[in-house]
Structure 1
Amino acid sequence: MKVLIHGRNLELTPALREYTKSKLEKAIHHFGDMVKEADVHLSVAKNPRVPQQTAEVTVFANGTVIRAQERSQNLYASIDLVSNKLCRQLRRYKERHSDHHHSPGHRASITPTTEEVLEDKSINGSLVEGKEAKLPKPGIRRKYFPMHPMNIEQAQHQLDLIDHDFYLFKEAESEQLQVIYRRKNGGYGVIQAKN
């Protein structure tokens, strides 16, 4: 498994890298055939009055993104917590997508490695000639991803896997974009356009 570790406002020492990698490998070893790559972001809050240290892990399992994030006053504790959370989420994902949920002979597709996706392609001409560099407006971050149609139950499952407050999806029957979110008092809500 390929593990990428990034740090913000801290020095990534070899001991910290090794601890993070060993904890992730231990959490993922039961799911090694599904997970090919893990992206880890470790950060320390800039404000010294707020001793908040965060560990965030994103793994790619058979084409599905699974994300976990934990915060505590100690970075090693955050790494422990996020490893345990990731293990629970992977177990839930594996149970939900085990072969008894599919028709005989059907399996989920395997996520290709980064090397398989990238190809060496030569570039003809200049990529910057006649173009002016522009920065995006501050505070706006764009994300692009394929939206496969799904029902509300599948969207709820995806919301649980990515560990966010909401999930945007294309509803299978109407092909309309909808948002499913966690309600503060428990349960889920769906936002959809009115016809």
Structure 2
Amino acid sequence: MNRRHTSIALDPGDVQVEAHGAIAAAAADDARRMVAGLTSTAHEPVLHARVKLGASADPAVARPCTAQANIDVNGRIVRAQASAESMHRAVRLLGDRLQIRLRRTARDWESLRGRYSADADHEWRRSSPPRPPLPYFPRPAGERRIVRHKAYELARATVEEAAFDLEQLDYDFHLFTEALTGQDSVICRSDDGYRLAQLDPQPHRLGPTSVPLTVSAMPAPVLDAAEAAERLEITGLPFVFFTDAATGRGNVVYHRYDGHYGLITPSA
């Protein structure tokens, strides 16, 4: 029986747009109309849509314009983001990535999410080209602070499921609890697939995976948030995964678009 919902596109006026930096009104309207039109491709009701547009004033940033969309599809979040040399181009790239992800909102994708077999059809990975890391404002090191703290219950998932969620949400990294080892872990893209880091790496317990995967052999360093931010600054990495010295849980400190830092922790 076909349970698919016949979607009705949101009205452009129902799409919330947030602008950071010098964003032309025409660009905001363009993004609003594009996202509203694409909501008709979802297979379930779209409850809310939000777009964030940002422009860096630093001439040294090669792709200073960023566009991000967050769509609530019947309670499930679909997310996409893009960066480009112009806002017009960033919005167009965002539309391409968002269209791919909205097509996945059919319930049929739930069966793809949990596949384990080596010959599984990972269309969800191949259909979306790799996205360059989003630029962030080169704020002087002495001015950088942790300005946002997000705490949520980590999803318990296999590596394959975490990789799917990473792609579906268009994240640069994904913090989760690995189902077979019970460990807080982080997954991100690598040149040849995905890379996994864990509090105490136990690759032998992961079993065979159907996505190309490398596992870091190094345990997550035991730090507090300030020490993790310092390590982030020293290494130049996009994020640092660490074991919180107080809770023993996996945390991530990362670079924000505004040049400050963000902190992600598991909820109590």
* Global fold match (TM > 0.5): yes
Native 8 Å contact 1:150 1:171 kept in 2: yes
Q: Secondary structure at the match of 1:21?
A: helix
Number of the residue aligned with 1:156: 163
Q: Secondary structure at the match of 2:150?
A: coil
CA shift for structure 1 position 91: 1.5
Displacement over 6 Å in runs of 4+: none
Of 65, 68, 72 in structure 2, the residue corresponding to residue 60 of structure 1 is 72
Q: Is the 8 A contact 2:186 2:197 kept in 1?
A: yes
Aligned partners of 1:25, 1:32: CA distance in 2, in Å? 14
The structure with the greater share of residues assigned to strand is 2
Q: Report the counterpart of residue 125 of structure 1 in structure 2.
A: none
Aligned residues: 157
Secondary structure of the structure 2 residue equivalent to 1:97: helix
Q: 1:189 aligns with which of 189, 195, 199?
A: 195
CA deviations over 1:111-150 (Å, ceiling 9, x no partner): xxxxxxxxxxxxxxxxxxxxxxxxxx81352112232322
Instruction: For 2:173, give the aligned amino acid.
Output: F
Q: For residue 145 of structure 1, what is the aligned residue in structure 2?
A: 152
Aligned mates of 2:50, 2:103 — CA distance in 1: 19
How much does 1:181 deviate? 1.7
1-structure distance, mates of 2:24, 2:17: 9
Residue 11 of structure 1, CA deviation: 4.4
Pick aligned residue for 1:44 from 49, 55, 66: 55
In the alignment, which of 14, 18, 28 is matched to residue 17 of structure 1? 28
SS of 1:143 mapped into structure 2 = strand
Q: Residue 59 and residue 145 in structure 1: after superposition, are their counterparts in 2 closer, same or farther (change >3 A)? A: farther
Kindly provide the CA deviation profile for residues 15-70 of structure 1, in whole angstroms up to 9, marking residues without a partner as x. 33332221112222121634211221111111245462111112223433322111
Structure 2 distance, partners of 1:12, 1:162, is 27
Choose 58-67 or 154-163, whichever is displaced more: 58-67
Tell me what 1:97 maps to: 110
Within 5 A, what are the aligned runs for 1:78-97? Answer: 78-94=90-106, 95-97=108-110
Partners of 1:144 and 1:12 in 2: CA distance: 34
Aligned partner of 1:119 in structure 2 is none
What's the TM-score once normalised by structure 2's chain length? 0.52
Q: CA RMSD in A?
A: 2.7
* CA apart distance, 1:7: 0.6
How has the CA–CA distance of structure 1 residues 187 and 38 changed in structure 2, closer, same or farther, with 3 Å as cutoff?
A: same
What are the superposed Cα offsets for residues 74-107 of structure 1, whole Å, 9 maximum, x if unpaired? 2122111101110112213434137xx9xxxxxx
Q: Which residue of 2 aligns with 1:114?
A: none
Distance 1:168 1:52 in 2: 27
Deviation at 1:182, TM superposition (A): 1.1
1:164 counterpart SS class: coil
The gaps in structure 1 that reach 5 residues or longer are: 102-136
Describe the shift of the 1:63–1:169 C-alpha distance in structure 2 as closer, same or farther (beyond 3 A). Answer: farther
The one-letter amino acid paired with 2:71 is V
Q: What secondary structure sits across from 2:39 in the alignment?
A: helix
Matched, 1:168 2:175: yes
Judge conservation of contact 1:27–1:84 (CA < 8 Å) in 2.
no
Q: Counterpart of 2:68 in 1: which secondary structure?
A: strand
1:109 corresponds in structure 2 to none
TM-score, L = length of structure 1: 0.69
Shift of 1:8: 0.9
Distance 2:153 2:78 in 1: 15
Q: Relative to 1, partners in 2 of residues 1:174 and 1:48: Cα closer, same or farther, differing over 3 Å?
A: closer
